[in-house]
Chains A and B, each alone.
Chain A
């Protein structure tokens, strides 16, 4: 079945550690890719998105993601995490078929130790 897969359900890091969260999708064709963050008790916020162009995308709060088409991947990275990055991170994909509806991965819960 077509899906969005996030490899890690829970990640625990110390402050200043580097972060990489994996995301793979199984849709063919042209896709739009997103990473969203949900801080405790808050609603979704867009971290970054890829529609076309440079496959290395810079987002807010020092996050970046790289689209590797051959691997169907869109991994999220941050070189040095902070305690305030503790949140849940969702990878999401929309396609140019099927009405561009956005499908979400299961999410990765990140806890950063101070």
Chain B
């Protein structure tokens, strides 16, 4: 299967600071990147979809100014949580896809804890 990495795997930050999470598809070109959030004991909730070189499309209820997504290349996408608050503490998972109709692959996730 495809190799997807996320960095960092775990981050603790203070309330009000910003955190950047990187997602890399190591052995294929991701034309589309999906970002999910998973709260403890819950399912994955889709936050946004981005196509390489385009602005991200956010799901209803997800603040685009708070969760900044950059998909500048076919192998790298970043999610920046701005002015983080404790309620943003969650597991963030990226999911790159090579093309429409193709399988989505999943990164190992980044656990964010905001104190």
Residues of A within 8 A of B (CB): 32, 36, 42-44, 46, 49, 51, 90, 94, 96, 99-107, 109
- Say yes or no: B95 contacts A102, CB within 8 Å: yes
Q: Can you list 22 A-B pairs with a CB-CB distance of less than 8 A?
A: A43-B108, A43-B109, A46-B1, A49-B103, A51-B101, A90-B43, A96-B101, A99-B32, A99-B100, A100-B32, A100-B100, A100-B102, A101-B34, A101-B46, A102-B46, A104-B43, A104-B44, A104-B45, A104-B46, A105-B43, A107-B42, A107-B43
Of chain A, the residue at the smallest CB distance from B104 is A102
- Say yes or no: A106 contacts B43, CB within 8 Å: yes
> In the complex, which range does the number of interface residues on chain B fall in?
20 to 34
In whole angstroms, how far apart are the Cα atoms of A70 and B109 in the complex?
A: 36
Residues of B within 8 A of A (CB): 1, 32, 34, 36, 41-46, 49, 57, 93, 95, 97, 100-104, 106-109
Task: Kindly list chain A residues whose C-beta atoms are within 8 Å of the C-beta of B100.
Answer: 99-100
- Say yes or no: B43 contacts A43, CB within 8 Å: no
In whole angstroms, how far apart are the Cα atoms of A44 and B94 in the complex?
A: 11
- Say yes or no: A94 contacts B104, CB within 8 Å: yes
Task: Kindly list chain A residues whose C-beta atoms are within 8 Å of the C-beta of B1.
Answer: 46
